Amino acid sequence: MLKIKQEKLHKTPTGISGLDEITNGGFPMGRPVLICGSAGCGKTLFAAQFLIKGITDYNEPGVFMSFEESASDLTQNFKSLGFDFEKLQAEKKLSIDHVRIERTEIEETGEYDLEGLFIRLNYAIDTIGAKRVVLDTIESLFSGMENVALLRSEIRRLFTWLKEKGVTAIITGERGESSLTRQGLEEYVSDCVILLDFRVIEQIATRRLRIVKYRGSTHGTNEYPFIIDEDGISVLPVTSLKLDYKSSTEIISTGLPLLDKAFTTGGIYRGSSTLITGTAGTSKTILASHFALSSCMRKERTLYFSFEESPDQLVRNMATIGIDFEQAIQSKMLHIHASRPSLLGLEMHLMVLNRLLTELNPRTVIIDPISSLISIGNSSEVGAMLVRLMDTLKINQINALFTSLAHEGYSEHSNSTIDLVSSLADTWLNLKNEERNSQRVRSLFIVKSRGMGHSNNQQDFTITDKGIHFTTPNKK
Partner 1 sequence: MPKQEKWELRLYVAGQTTNSMLALKNITKYCKHHLEGRYVIEVIDLLKNPQLAEGDQIFAIPTLVRKVPEPLRKIIGDLSNEEKVLVGLNIRPVAD
325 in helix, strand or coil? helix
Task: Give whichever of 107 and 435 is closer to partner 1, judged by the CB atom.
Answer: 107
Q: One symbol per residue from 219 to 258: x for binding partner 1 (CB under 8 A), - otherwise; what is it?
A: ----------------------------------------
> Is there a cis peptide before residue 341, judged by omega within 30 degrees of 0?
no
Which string of DSSP letters, residue by residue, matches 188-238? T--SEEEEEEEEEETTEEEEEEEEEEETTS----SEEEEEEETTEEEE---
Considering the complex, state which of residue 109 and residue 249 has its C-beta at the smaller distance from partner 1. Answer: 109
- Closest CB to partner 1 among 110 and 409? 110
CA 134/CA 156 separation, integer angstroms: 16
CB nearer to partner 1: give 158 or 303.
Answer: 158
Nearer to partner 1, 86 or 126 (CB): 126
Give the shortest CB-124-to-partner 1 separation in angstroms. 8
State the nearest-atom distance from the C-beta of 43 to partner 1, in Å: 21
User: Nearest distance from residue 147's CB to partner 1, in Å?
Assistant: 9
**427-436/273-278 β-pairing:** parallel
Residue 93 CB, nearest approach to partner 1 (Å):
18
Q: Residue 126 carries which DSSP code?
A: H
Number of residues in contact with partner 1 under rule CB under 8 A: 24
Q: For residues 105 and 177, which CB has a smaller minimum distance to partner 1 in the complex?
A: 105
List all residues 6 or more positions away from 281 whose beta carbon is below 8 Å from its beta carbon: 433
- Of 406, 403, 411, nearest to 428 (Cα)? 403
Task: Say if residue 403 is preceded by a cis peptide, omega within 30 of 0.
Answer: no
H-run or E-run covering 395: helix 380-395
Residues numbered 92-151 forming contacts with partner 1, rule: CB under 8 A: 97, 99-102, 105-117, 119-120, 122-123, 141, 145
Shortest Cβ 139–partner 1 spacing (Å): 14
410 binds partner 1, rule: CB under 8 A: no
Report, in Å, the least distance between residue 245 CB and partner 1: 53
Question: How big is the CA angle at 181 (ends 178 and 187), to the nearest 5 degrees?
Answer: 100
Per CB under 8 A, residues contacting partner 1 are: 97, 99-102, 105-117, 119-120, 122-123, 141, 145
